[in-house]
Amino acid sequence: MVEKVFLVGPRGFCAGVERAIKVVEDCIELFGKPVYVKHEIVHNKNVVNDLEKKGAITIEDINEVPENSVVVFSAHGSPPNHYEIAKKRNLKLIDATCPLVTKVHLEVKKFAKDGFKIIYICHKNHIEAKGVMGELKTGIYPVESIKDVEELELNGKIIYLSQTTLSVNETKEIIEAIKKKFPNITNPPKEDICYATTNRQAAVKELIKKVELVLIVGSKTSSNSQRLVETAVSAGKKGFLVDSVEDLKEEWFKEIKNVGISAGASSPEKLVQEIVEYFTKKGAEKEELIVLEERMKFIEPFELTKIKKEKTEN
């Protein structure tokens, strides 16, 4: 029987996710139903389902949005041509792209303009990577493994950038391989893996010192949640990704005395607490393990602030 449950912090919603969810809620309040959202606003099915109940409609193709409608672009970022399509269709566009993802888009454009070839460390099929790579037709080279790096043949000015939600350890190994092959490569001006991804992985590394099994609350589509599971498993611990308490399986906990719980950056705290309750009702103790505090906040998109101001004045 599980005797103790450790809740590690930081966990769950990051500033970018909180901002994106609020953008959709504010748009529904300002413009009424429906509000279209291009791609899942964040990669958590419970969040998406809750917003759809309030009046959001999630679509994948910007052309599916009726002309003159309100559309929110998801937190993961979008390629430039999607903005062009939105303009042609006369859509009222509110961009909920996380500012830390926008930073990478701006870096790509800046360094390409300055004549750099860009090695982009990413998961090639992830929506964030597709948006970033959409900034350039040529001159950006996606890599997701050391093998990919070894196959590169580049010369001239080179810089590396990365997706914001990658494994810190895995990315470090790829960066080492890049620097070994291209000794004169330019480092990015600032780390691209976001603070929330880095902090949650660091917290799980502390959590695994106290437990035999780790539960990560998050959806399979969530890159940062998947990386948290990998962090636990790579350290020799049992690790499972669960969307909710309904995904728990009794056989996981045979001969397990200490369970650790964290949550991906797009996972609501209420889902975490439901899982904690599952164990405490069976007699387990609960203990909070706060590794560090987060105080990051992002302001809402400028276009939303402008619309709110106009409505107030009228």
Q: Is 128 designated active site?
A: yes
Residues 6+ apart with CB under 8 A from 244: 46, 217, 271, 274, 275
pLDDT (tens digit per residue) in 43-61: 999 999 999 999 999 999 9
Beta bridge partners of 143: 121
Our CA angle for 119, 122, 127, nearest 5°, is 125
Rg of the chain over CA atoms, in angstroms? 21
Selected catalytic residue, list 128, 135, 144, 230? 128
pLDDT digits (tens, 9 = 90+) for 158-199: 999 999 999 999 999 999 999 999 999 999 998 899 999 999
As a whole number of angstroms, the distance between CA 284 and CA 156 comes to 59
pLDDT reading at 238 higher than 90: yes
The pLDDT of residue 311 is 82
- Cα dihedral 190, 191, 196, 198, rounded to 10, equals -150
What distance in Å separates the CA atoms of residue 164 and residue 279, rounded to the nearest whole number? 33
The structure's pTM equals 0.94
pLDDT above 90: percentage of residues in the chain? 96
71-116 pLDDT, tens digit per residue, is: 999 999 999 999 999 999 999 999 999 999 999 999 999 999 999 9
* Burial letters 290-300, b for 16+ CB under 10 A, else e: ebeeeeeebee
